[in-house]
Chain A
Amino acid sequence: MKSPLESLPLFHIGPIPITQAVVTTWAIMLLLVVGAFLLTRRLELIPGRRQAALELLVDTLDTQIRETTGARPAPYRAFSGTLFLFILAANWSSLVPGAEPPTAQLETDAALAVLVFLSVIWFGVRSRGVKGYLKSFAAPNPVMIPLNMLESFTRTFSMFVRLFGNVMSGVFIIGIIASLAGLLVPIPLMALELLTGLVQAYIFAVLAMVFITAAVGDHAHHRNRQDAETDGLLPATEESASPPTERDS
């Protein structure tokens, strides 16, 4: 049986081997970029069907970002939304016959996790400055510095292994079942795999957002909250601070 940990090159460009996962990734990138470009031409004030569907998507992403982190979604929408859409498209690319999801390979997931690691640093430095960001490692007290540094690596590693393990195990199990039972039997498992793909894409994007807003810190959070209140997006603080009323028992 083919090892899930290694990938065979399809062809070579110069000295660089190109695997199937890379080709699938290129196809997804092309699809997303061209699709986003074509769908956002001629935006109007009163949306048609196509634009309403797009606005629904963007609005859902915004709501999720706002509710998960309490921050204003605008600075993070591009990164987090792209992560979500790309991983979702990659996980669901197993629907295309012959294609294997690129997220079932180690390299793609490692690249995505490194992207999150770097963007945490970037957003943190941008919001607090280099000194402030480094100071955040000594958060409760300086004894925690090694642990905090270790944590920033291990959580990236666990994001990577989580995405890889989930998607790869799905592909692996479907392969085993298909070799045992053949026609129609793997279909329920494939449906389950679609659900897993959606949940994993969601979790990856949400965890990236959580790490980023943890690095950005509290002061940005308060400012964003006030902005949201003045925009009427969030209820006023007094109202939300009141305890939930006890239900009649």
Chain B
Amino acid sequence: MDYPSVASIFCAAFAVAFGAIGPALAEGRSVAAAMDAIARQPEAANTISRTLFVGLAMIETTAIYCLVIALLLLFANPLLN
């Protein structure tokens, strides 16, 4: 196994590992804020959870981008062939 393929495997692992940190923290914060809001105003729970879901999907996108980059490195690396 030559140097570029080893490097791309490591980079794929790093991309997923470090790319997951930011979204995880952000999702934790947003869920905590939503819980807080629901506790203060339970009658708005529907609106809050709907907005929360959409927001979580937005945040999650960054992690998904990292995943796609990792897959590109592993399966469709333009530098290897």
Q: How far is the CA of A166 from the CA of B60 in the complex (A)?
A: 9
B81 at the interface (CB under 8 A from A): no
How extensive is the interface on chain B, given as a class?
20 to 34
Partner of B75, one of A4, A200, A206: A4
A67-B47, A165-B67, A244-B41 known; A202 vs B76 contact (CB < 8 Å): no
The answer to whether A165 and B64 have CB atoms under 8 Å apart is yes
Q: How far is the CA of A202 from the CA of B57 in the complex (A)?
A: 10
Within 8 A of A (CB), among B13-59: 40-41, 43-44, 46-47, 50, 53-54, 57
Minimum CB–CB distance for A208 against chain B, Å: 12
The answer to whether A206 and B61 have CB atoms under 8 Å apart is no
Minimum CB–CB distance for B26 against chain A, Å: 15
Q: How far is the CA of A24 from the CA of B46 in the complex (A)?
A: 34
B10 at the interface (CB under 8 A from A): no
Partner of A162, one of B40, B61, B71, B72: B61
Interface size on A, residues (CB 8 A): 23
Q: How far is the CA of A207 from the CA of B53 in the complex (A)?
A: 11
A161 at the interface (CB under 8 A from B): yes
The answer to whether B50 and A162 have CB atoms under 8 Å apart is no
A5 at the interface (CB under 8 A from B): yes
Question: Which A residues are CB-close (under 8 A) to B44?
Answer: 244
A4-B71, A244-B41 known; A162 vs B57 contact (CB < 8 Å): yes
Residues of B within 8 A of A (CB): 40-41, 43-44, 46-47, 50, 53-54, 57, 60-61, 64-65, 67-68, 71-72, 75-76
Using A158-B61, A244-B43, A247-B40 as known contacts, list a sample of 5 further A-B pairs with CB atoms less than 8 Å apart, ordered by residue number in A: A4-B75, A5-B72, A164-B68, A206-B53, A206-B54
